[in-house]
Amino acid sequence: MTKTQRLMELVQLLRCHRYPVTAQHLAEQLSISVRTVYRDIICLQQQGVAIEGSAGLGYLLKSDGHLPPLMFSRHEIDALALGLDWVSRHTDAELKSAAQHALAKIYAVLPEHLSHALDHQSLLVATRGEVLFETHLPEIRKAIHTRNKIILRYKDLKEATSTRVIWPVVLGYFDRVRLLCGWCELRQDFRNFRVDRIEEIQASDEVYPGTRFQLLKRWKDYHQLREQNGYREA
In this predicted model, what pLDDT tens digit does every residue of 12-22 receive, in sequence order? 888 888 889 99
Q: What is the pLDDT of residues 23-54, one digit of tens each?
A: 999 999 999 999 999 999 999 888 888 899 98
Q: Which residues pair with 63 in a beta bridge?
A: 50
Three-class secondary structure of residue 132 per DSSP: coil
Q: Which amino acid is at 232?
A: R
Q: What Cα–Cα distance (Å) separates residue 218 from each residue in 69, 140, 152, 231?
A: 35, 19, 22, 17
Question: What pTM was computed for the model?
Answer: 0.64
Question: 112 Cβ partners below 8 Å, 6+ apart?
Answer: none
Instruction: Please indicate whether residue 187 or residue 106 has the higher confidence score (pLDDT).
Output: 187
pLDDT at 72: 76
As a whole number of angstroms, the distance between CA 23 and CA 135 comes to 48
Q: Are strands 189-194 and 50-54 parallel, antiparallel or unpaired?
A: unpaired
Which DSSP string corresponds to 49-116?
Answer: -EEEEETTTEEEEEE-TTSPPPPPPHHHHHHHHHHHHHHHHHS-HHHHHHHHHHHHHHHHHS-HHHHH
- Angstrom distance (rounded) from CA 171 to CA 179: 6
Amino acid at 225: L
pLDDT in tens, 71-123: 677 788 888 888 998 888 888 889 989 998 888 888 877 777 778 777 777 77
- What is the spatial distance between Cα 82 and Cα 97, in angstroms, rounded to a whole number? 16
Better pLDDT: 140 or 115: 140
Q: What percent of the chain has pLDDT over 90?
A: 45
Average pLDDT of every residue of the chain: 86
Least confident piece of the model among 9-13, 158-162, 226-230:
226-230
Q: Which pLDDT score is estimated for 207?
A: 96
pLDDT at residue 234, as a whole number = 37
Name all domains of the chain by residue range, CATH numbers in brackets. Answer: 3-63 (1.10.10.10), 74-119 (no CATH), 137-228 (2.30.30)
Strand order of the β-sheet with 161-173 is 189-194, 178-184, 161-173, 148-155, 198-207
C-beta separation of 78 from 123 below 8 A: yes
